[in-house]
């Protein structure tokens, strides 16, 4: 009995301690906010909703951040100021606001904010996408554009992409002739992963190969984990405290990825040594890893790469190149299924240019303006990365508002694509808006960052260096899927598919696209 009373008294004491601690923390937070607000009143900041203690405006971000920010922008304007926890942020929701940040004041917003998860997975931000703006980043950008993802390299690796597309179409043909349903998103993810794998490492992985499956799982796990909210990134007193246990899961993912890359790099180095001994290096088509190893061994290079740089860069390409291409193609096909008249017009264009005796190829895309318009319209309504994220390196003034250094910038592409000031009936899927009226059929509106009401690949210095590759993969595979198959949903009926979104770092579908790909060409073109 005495033991129970002592235990009860101890619990009461503990509870009182925690109550007092919470009260002190709450009072301190209010005092801190009051002092901060008094300082901010002297500075002209963008409009902002009322913030809560500790969490700031985090409660306004659910359930899907880009949608929530769009709703807020309707009330507070094209530039808003928010606190996500203790992190100051500015949100741009129109093309004009995006241009101010990404072009007029680009030099102030050329950094990426540091995320605990991404920083760990990229060996301390030794990659390209999240590296700080500086000499190393500039060197890697130059290497990307001239060697790794330049036109010459992409042309050399065209046979790899063609072979993987052929394998993909054969799978769909087999499923379709048996009238079996396929998970379109899953198969597109496999296709994208195989293309990236072979371009990086010249690996010929079949869909049942253990290594290929492991790499697909790694990409999936990475996308999931980096898309989760991490309290240590936003609440200052949790900064060095892994309260959600992310560290263990991140270490497990990076260890798996590191082991795979070490094995592949070792095999490449051994193969390179043998070729040098045999004098068989000239004329050899190099994969991206081979190009990176050349740079690693180049003593005269202006920046000396490390193996961690190479691993982090390959990590970037896998994560960015696999998910995004697959999602864009899946969204496009879903829109076409819901708009059969647009699907039919695209087929007519393909058949008029290519016919029915061969399958469309990347070189044909330039002659298919309506297909290009379909992809542009998909990227407008369903931007795979719905927000561009940057961080200010120094303070600046935009539209009369003062933006301090270390402020995170979110450019809401999802909102920009729905701006009625730029788009007539913005919720309507209408590729014709990208077809010019001069008779050429080609729209002057590009997706490479020059027109700020359509910047799915970013803009300026930190625009995506893989834009050309992404467009080639998406457009050619979507064209082949339109040309070769009728897409039946709902047991073969004509039911429409849902277009709801799922929360995440990329714009995923809430429900998988399940269809039967019925072959429509007879005989089916030789592959």
Per DSSP, the residues of 184-228 read: HHHHHHHHHHHHHHHHHH-----TT-HHHHHHHHHHHHHHHHHTS
Q: What average pLDDT does range 52-68 have in this prediction?
A: 94
> Was 89 annotated as part of a binding site?
no
**What DSSP element (H or E) covers 424?**
none
Distance from C-alpha of 402 to C-alpha of 425, rounded to nearest angstrom: 34
Q: Which residues contact 297 (CB under 8 A, 6 or more apart)?
A: none
Query: Residue 489 has what pLDDT?
Result: 93
Enumerate the H helices of 301-366 as residue ranges.
307-338, 340-353
Query: Residue 33 has what pLDDT?
Result: 57
- pTM for the structure as a whole: 0.89
pLDDT of 17 strictly over 70: no
Contact present, 44 and 402 (Cβ < 8 Å) = yes
Query: Residue 13 has what pLDDT?
Result: 41
Q: How many helices (H) and strands (E) does the chain have?
A: 16, 11
Q: What average pLDDT does range 150-156 have in this prediction?
A: 93
pLDDT of 449 strictly over 90: no
Residue 26 tokens read as: 């709450």
Alpha-carbon radius of gyration of the chain:
26
Residue 175 tokens read as: 């499923």
**pLDDT cut 90: percent of the chain above it:** 69
Distance from C-alpha of 525 to C-alpha of 527, rounded to nearest angstrom: 6
Q: What average pLDDT does range 186-212 have in this prediction?
A: 79
**What DSSP element (H or E) covers 486?**
strand 485-488
Q: Which residues contact 38 (CB under 8 A, 6 or more apart)?
A: none
pLDDT of 103 strictly over 90: yes
Residue 102 tokens read as: 């990404």
Burial of 308 (0-12, 13-18, 19+ CB in 10 A): middle
* 189, 235, 341, 359, 431 from 337: Cα distances, Å: 19, 44, 9, 21, 14
> What 3-state class would DSSP assign to 66?
helix
Distance from C-alpha of 423 to C-alpha of 296, rounded to nearest angstrom: 47
Q: How far is CA 371 from the centre of its chain?
A: 22
Distance from C-alpha of 358 to C-alpha of 374, rounded to nearest angstrom: 22
Q: What average pLDDT does range 386-391 have in this prediction?
A: 96
Angle CA(228)–CA(229)–CA(235) in degrees, nearest 5?
Answer: 155
Sole residue written with tokens 């971000």? 61
pLDDT of 10 strictly over 50: no
Query: Residue 165 has what pLDDT?
Result: 96
Q: What average pLDDT does range 53-69 have in this prediction?
A: 94
Q: Which residues contact 365 (CB under 8 A, 6 or more apart)?
A: 371, 372, 472, 475, 476, 479
Distance from C-alpha of 399 to C-alpha of 47, rounded to nearest angstrom: 12
Query: Residue 1 has what pLDDT?
Result: 36
Q: What average pLDDT does range 217-221 have in this prediction?
A: 87
Left (φ > 0), alpha (ψ -120 to 50) or beta: where does 425 sit?
A: left
Residue 269 tokens read as: 């180095």
How many beta carbons lie within 10 A of that of residue 346, not counting itself?
23
Least confident span in 19-28, 150-159, 286-295, 297-306:
19-28
Least confident span in 17-21, 94-98, 267-271, 436-440:
17-21
Distance from C-alpha of 127 to C-alpha of 305, rounded to nearest angstrom: 11
Q: Which residues contact 257 (CB under 8 A, 6 or more apart)?
A: 121, 218, 311, 315
How many beta carbons lie within 10 A of that of residue 130, not counting itself?
21
> What 3-state class would DSSP assign to 512?
coil
Q: What average pLDDT does range 157-164 have in this prediction?
A: 94
Q: Which residue has the higher pLDDT, 284 or 21?
A: 284
> What 3-state class would DSSP assign to 493?
strand
Highest mean pLDDT among 42-46, 98-102, 195-199, 245-249: 98-102
Query: Residue 206 has what pLDDT?
Result: 45
Sole residue written with tokens 């180049």? 298
Enumerate the H helices of 112-183 as residue ranges.
116-121, 135-143, 151-156, 158-177
Distance from C-alpha of 105 to C-alpha of 427, rounded to nearest angstrom: 30
């Amino acid at each position: 009995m005495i033991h129970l009373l002592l235990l009860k008294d101890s619990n009461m004491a503990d509870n009182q301690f925690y109550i007092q601690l919470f009260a002190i923390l709450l009072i301190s937070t209010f005092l801190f906010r009051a002092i901060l607000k008094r300082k901010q009143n002297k500075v002209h900041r963008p409009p902002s909703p009322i913030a809560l203690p500790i969490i700031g405006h985090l409660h306004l971000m659910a359930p899907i951040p880009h949608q929530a920010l769009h709703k807020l922008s309707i009330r507070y304007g094209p530039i808003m100021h928010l606190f996500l926890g203790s992190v100051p942020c500015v949100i741009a929701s129109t093309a004009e606001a995006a241009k101010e940040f990404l072009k007029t004041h680009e030099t102030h917003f050329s950094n990426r904010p540091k995320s605990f998860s991404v920083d760990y997975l990229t060996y301390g931000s030794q990659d390209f996408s999240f590296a700080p703006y500086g000499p190393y980043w500039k060197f890697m950008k130059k290497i990307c554009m001239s060697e790794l993802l330049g036109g010459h390299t992409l042309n050399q690796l065209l046979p790899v992409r063609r072979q993987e597309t052929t394998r993909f179409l054969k799978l769909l043909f087999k499923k379709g002739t048996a009238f079996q349903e396929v998970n379109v998103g899953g198969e597109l993810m496999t296709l994208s992963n195989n293309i990236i794998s072979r371009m990086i490492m010249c690996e010929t992985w079949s869909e049942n190969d253990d290594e290929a499956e492991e790499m697909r799982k790694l990409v999936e796990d990475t996308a999931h984990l980096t898309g989760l909210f991490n309290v240590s990134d936003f609440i200052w007193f949790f900064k060095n405290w892994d309260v959600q246990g992310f560290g263990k899961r991140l270490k497990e993912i990076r260890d798996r990825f590191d082991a795979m890359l070490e094995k592949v790099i070792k095999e490449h180095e051994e193969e390179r040594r043998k070729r040098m001994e045999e004098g068989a290096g000239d004329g050899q088509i190099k994969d991206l890893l081979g190009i990176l190893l050349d740079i690693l061994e180049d003593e005269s290079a202006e920046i000396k790469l490390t193996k961690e740089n190479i691993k982090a860069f390959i990590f970037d390409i896998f994560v960015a190149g696999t998910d995004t291409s697959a999602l864009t193609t899946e969204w496009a096909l879903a829109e076409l299924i819901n708009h059969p008249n647009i699907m039919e017009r695209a087929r007519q264009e393909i058949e008029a240019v290519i016919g029915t005796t061969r399958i469309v190829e990347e070189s044909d895309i330039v002659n298919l303006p309506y297909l290009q318009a379909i992809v542009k319209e998909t990227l407008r309504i369903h931007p795979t990365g719905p927000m561009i994220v940057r961080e200010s390196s120094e303070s600046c003034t935009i539209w009369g508002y003062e933006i301090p250094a270390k402020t995170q910038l979110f450019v809401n592409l999802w909102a920009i694509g729905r701006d009625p000031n730029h788009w007539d009936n913005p919720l309507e899927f209408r590729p014709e808006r990208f077809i010019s009226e001069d008779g050429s059929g080609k729209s002057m509106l590009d997706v490479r960052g020059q027109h700020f009401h359509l910047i799915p690949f970013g803009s300026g210095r930190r625009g995506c260096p893989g834009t050309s590759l992404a467009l080639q993969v998406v457009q050619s595979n979507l064209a082949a899927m339109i040309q070769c198959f009728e897409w039946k949903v709902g047991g073969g009926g004509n039911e429409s598919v849902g277009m709801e979104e799922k929360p995440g770092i990329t714009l995923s579908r809430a429900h998988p696209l399940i269809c039967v790909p019925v072959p429509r060409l007879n005989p089916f073109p030789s592959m």
